[in-house]
Structure 1
């Protein structure tokens, strides 16, 4: 017997599986009957010709969910409650019944064909028990190891078809997961006979067949980088948030509606003694204090690794302030290590089984709220779930954030499963739109595409212009400006080696082609790109001073939104802020 040893990652974690039950026609008939004609169980049994025992048990279930109640006057009768009445009149689906159970998940991810196996279907050995010589494929040098987050993403690949009818995987308990490098052991004699473990990818099968034929060991492969994926959603122009005051109001509204979880990622954190913008920033802290008093869990993060100790100390001050509002442990999940991302997030449940996300330029825990900010609010379930996945990936690098990672995973899973039922009247009225998530390196590619394809206008706002301003922004804008009559770049600050004279020379060079406008007051902290009538990118990236890197995709996050008159609406709001 000749064995081949393939590098692999072994992942174990408790999984939470939820079973759901809908409502039977009998239950719906009884609910409708009591809505039309209140009565006793005997009345319903006789009217619908259903056995009395069935009516009694069904009414008990309906009462458990608050859909049926007892009215005592003028005589005791069963009647549809206000909640049940609303469900019937609005056409909403009745609330599902659910039950959770815990299962053990154990999978193996190999590096030659990127297959994912159930551990019980394959043989694996620890790295320490690898033989001194033989057919050994080594782990790729220099490649980042798998993470708990990446393995969580792969679990669903093997769970499909393994669950009972009516069950779905809510997620895994990240704080109890286990990840270890091992080696997958395969018998080449069995491979030669065409026997492969269940779940083997076509790439693994082909590689092993080639090894049997040639004797040359296969090579590991690296998963290709993910390209932006577009999803259909619904978005209204009012969900483009522009200006400091509107950001404060939106924060207070979203945080004020939360009942279970709030997540804030701010690049920086202001000290409680920082006087700049203190009155306005106090509104942010008070909103979080009120949430803590209501028993809402607050998950707080900062992004920058610059002046790490300073921002960690400021986060500790905020923790102590919020702790006074809620003395119970577990309601404040405050991280004092940076996640090393420039992205900015506000996420909260909406108290109605949905959630809201604000992403854009605003540093919620640091901003003095005097600059012009631009963010996008996502409320449609599928779009929110995508945003939760992004935040989960950003914060998952902190081992102390396992509880937050788990909560985000469960929320996203629930939203995706129920997205057809969670459409609110506001979502239904919003026009259809397309959302594309941009990682760091995607920004420059899209900006250049927009510069070549824009037909009416091309407008970019960046907080700073810096050393790379010409190739990153000015050159693409010039391409657009030689075709279009409306090409504008707005900025407020210069950084790095760039002086006022450098920008002045480019302004003169681009005169009549690109309108290059410096706006010292109000400071423009917004980072957006808008072209034609329908295309908007709301981002954390300073287009004129930073370049997104392929090897750090989560450093900057942008939302490319395409929908009716989104660019027109954003520019109208932006120009109003400039006065």
Structure 2
């Protein structure tokens, strides 16, 4: 989601499907108020209008004109000392490799889980020095069920990875896609970690098929962890 205010352009990137959601599930999103970032997002939106055959069109041209009209961000000091990176589809696996270096804890959230699991995710996380808490909410019942998930769970290193169904008392399951580790690191994204390929293999503008944000900020992982588990236990 993109919009403008009196002085800045804003972006909201995360897991919510705006045209489909009933806004009754646990979601995770990042709000960014920055003209340069919003300009890049509008340029990506223009690219997406070309479709799989990469055909230019009027809407794409309008979006590119809009992007060019946005003034650069002001050079103000970042008092909160936050590191922000935009992730395209092929960037996600890099952060799995970063998370496996964790020294405190790792939390992984995915809405969907499927048998088409990208093995390098689990192969990497199974080498973590700390235990990984991995939560899913839904399965493709035509090709997978919870018994098969349990069978898969038993096949991975349970001393390293705890694979669990997200089941809060409220019944409002998680739709969030999150990778968080070691107090100050979090990725919030549209990519379902446990059912999508994050290896970086893509064709044409499929590289924009998933978008995420990596944040490095003081105690941001701790804030997410507290919020998520409070929702899980007391919703």
TM-score tier, shorter chain, comes to 0.7 to 0.9
Cα gap change, 1:448 to 1:497, in 2 (>3 Å) = farther
With structure 1 as the length reference, what TM-score do the two structures score? Answer: 0.36
Q: Which residue of 2 aligns with 1:519?
A: 166
Which whole-Å CA distance do the structure 1 matches of 2:172 and 2:121 have between them? 22
Which whole-Å CA distance do the structure 2 matches of 1:384 and 1:572 have between them? 29
Q: Which residue of 2 aligns with 1:432?
A: 81
Cα gap change, 1:493 to 1:547, in 2 (>3 Å) = same
The answer to whether 1:500 aligns with 2:146 is: yes
Q: Which residue of 1 aligns with 2:24?
A: 370
SS in 1 for 2:208: coil
The answer to whether 1:386 aligns with 2:40 is: yes
Unaligned runs of 5+ residues in structure 1 are 1-345
* Contact 2:40/2:67 (8 A) holds in 1: no
The answer to whether 1:546 aligns with 2:200 is: no
- 1:195-274 superposed matches below 5 A: none
With structure 2 as the length reference, what TM-score do the two structures score? Answer: 0.83
Per-residue CA distance 1:543-572 (angstroms, 9 max, x = gap): 100114332211111111111111111122
Q: Which residue of 2 aligns with 1:150?
A: none
* Contact 1:360/1:558 (8 A) holds in 2: yes
SS in 2 for 1:365: coil
Find 2:13's aligned residue among 359, 362, 385. 359
Unaligned runs of 5+ residues in structure 2 are none
Which whole-Å CA distance do the structure 1 matches of 2:69 and 2:50 have between them? 14
Which whole-Å CA distance do the structure 1 matches of 2:82 and 2:184 have between them? 9
Which whole-Å CA distance do the structure 2 matches of 1:559 and 1:382 have between them? 15
Which whole-Å CA distance do the structure 1 matches of 2:219 and 2:49 have between them? 34
- Bigger share in helix: 1
Equivalenced residue count is 219
Find 1:446's aligned residue among 88, 92, 95. 95
Which whole-Å CA distance do the structure 1 matches of 2:87 and 2:78 have between them? 26
The answer to whether 1:410 aligns with 2:55 is: no
Find 2:4's aligned residue among 349, 368, 371. 349
Which whole-Å CA distance do the structure 1 matches of 2:111 and 2:67 have between them? 30
Which whole-Å CA distance do the structure 2 matches of 1:488 and 1:477 have between them? 10
The answer to whether 1:565 aligns with 2:219 is: yes
Cα gap change, 1:470 to 1:387, in 2 (>3 Å) = closer
Find 1:460's aligned residue among 103, 108, 117. 108
How many Å apart are 1:472 and its aligned residue?
4.7
* TM-align CA RMSD: 2.2
